[in-house]
Amino acid sequence: MIKLEKEKKIINRLRRTEGQIRGIQKMIEDEKECIDIITQLSAVRSSIDRAMGLIVAENLKDCLENPEKDPNEQAKKMEQAIHMIIKK
């Protein structure tokens, strides 16, 4: 149940981001000020970063809470998650 709630939160965040992107497209079409467009693009970037963080955190949490899974697979998942965090 908790996992489903977290998935819903991530999906809702992505839907809001999608709406923001549509708004930015309209701003460009309406020839709004550059600074306003950049501000909205920055907000989209932050929203996506938060969604990525939630997903990476959930992946790491799963690895730590379920040690009975294949240790090699868990190590691979953890390495990928850390790489995604460092990549920024």
pLDDT at 1: 46
**Which carries the bigger pLDDT value, residue 61 or residue 25?**
25
Residues 28-71: pLDDT tens digits? 999 999 999 999 999 999 999 888 888 888 877 877 787 777 77
Residue 2 pLDDT exceeds 70: no
Residues 59-73: pLDDT tens digits? 778 777 877 777 788
pTM value is: 0.73
CATH top-level class for 2-87?
Answer: mainly alpha
Domains of the chain, residue spans: 2-87
Distance from C-alpha of 27 to C-alpha of 9, rounded to nearest angstrom: 27
Nearest partner of 20 among 49, 35, 41, judged by Cα: 41
